[in-house]
Amino acid sequence: MGNKLNGKEKAAILLITLGPEKSAEIFKHLNEEEIEELTLQIANMRMVSSEEKQLVMEDFYEIALAQQYISEGGINYAKEILERALGPKKAVNIISKLTSSLHVRPFEFIRKADPNQLLNYIQNEHPQTIALILSYLQPGQSAEILANLPPEKQSEVTRRIATMDRTSPEVVKEIEMILESKFSSMISEDFTMTGGIQSTVDILNSVDRGTEKFILEELDIRDPDLSEEIRKRMFVFEDIVSLDSRSVQRVVREIDNSLWAIALKSASEEVKEVIFTNMSNRLVEMIQEDIEFMGPVRIRDIEEAQQNIVNVIRRLEEEGEIITPRGGDEIIV
């Protein structure tokens, strides 16, 4: 039955099965056209049977598992593991579903290499070359390399990652050849999206605070708009759940009740629980009443309220009032 469904129908069933909260998170990673098409498909779906849901979920899980194995050790490794787990016929079927759209990520051959070893090979390259390589690596791997680059190169490489868009396969191939004497490579033939703001944020979230602060201060001078855009994404509203209770209580004291009501209007239950746990019962009741009786609120207004709270959190962190955990941080209480 699942084989009779097209890709769009399977995606719609998957979103229906996952529920509104998880589907909303997925929508954040899609463009407007994709969101519109999927929303229309969901709206036009007939009653979906539990059997169809199960088949789609199994299909999704198997493909996701195959992609994970491919990223860990390549297609042959994925095929071997899947054959052991599901049998040769099923493994071939799953791999074949991926091969039409699968492109092995450039520099995949060094994504498990030691960062210090990579640093020796690339530290004397042009900042644009370093930026391209780092944009393809794991954030933690890139962060370690970035932190050990000469200070004068750190902000320049970061700026180039953030402003990078599309890179032609010829350029990627040429840079890969620099390292091929030590590593074997697999090359993607398509124009590949690289770098960008989110890639920069992922890397900066993983470097030590001193390096992060230095880079952002340098970017404040070189490209203030870019620096501000990166700062906006360094801590998002949902990350409040990662704050310790003392920090949450400090943030609560800084924010007006009416702002909390708007910001929490569409927040996840996890975020609400963290906030309400660190408020007095009376204050929680007041905010919940405000949420209940305020009526519909524009998404833009909710996002603005959440961003205002994030700005306060950033200010409190800069003043040393609170600590926002980042990748690689070790917090001693």
Convert the pLDDT of each residue in 205-223 to its tens digit: 666 666 777 888 888 888 8
Each residue of 126-138: b (16+ CB within 10 Å) or e?
ebbbbbbbbbbbe
Q: Note the Cα 286 to chain centre separation in Å.
A: 34
* Residues forming CATH 1.10.220.30 domain(s) in the chain: 108-233, 235-318
* DSSP one-letter code for 125: S
CATH class of 235-318: mainly alpha
Query: What CA–CA distance (Å, rounded) separates 132 from 171?
Result: 10
Per CATH, domain 108-233 is 3.40.50.2300: no
Query: What CA–CA distance (Å, rounded) separates 328 from 111?
Result: 18
Q: What is the pLDDT of residue 184?
A: 44
Phi, psi of 166 (to 5 degrees): -110, 140
Per-residue pLDDT of the chain (333 residues; tens, 9 = 90+): 445 677 778 888 888 888 878 877 887 777 777 777 777 777 766 677 888 888 888 887 777 777 676 666 666 666 777 777 777 777 777 666 655 444 445 666 566 667 777 787 788 888 888 888 888 787 888 888 898 898 888 889 888 888 887 666 667 667 766 665 555 433 333 344 455 777 787 777 666 666 777 888 888 888 888 888 887 777 778 889 989 999 999 999 999 988 999 999 888 999 999 999 999 999 999 999 998 888 888 888 888 898 889 889 888 887 888 887 654 444 434
pTM: 0.41
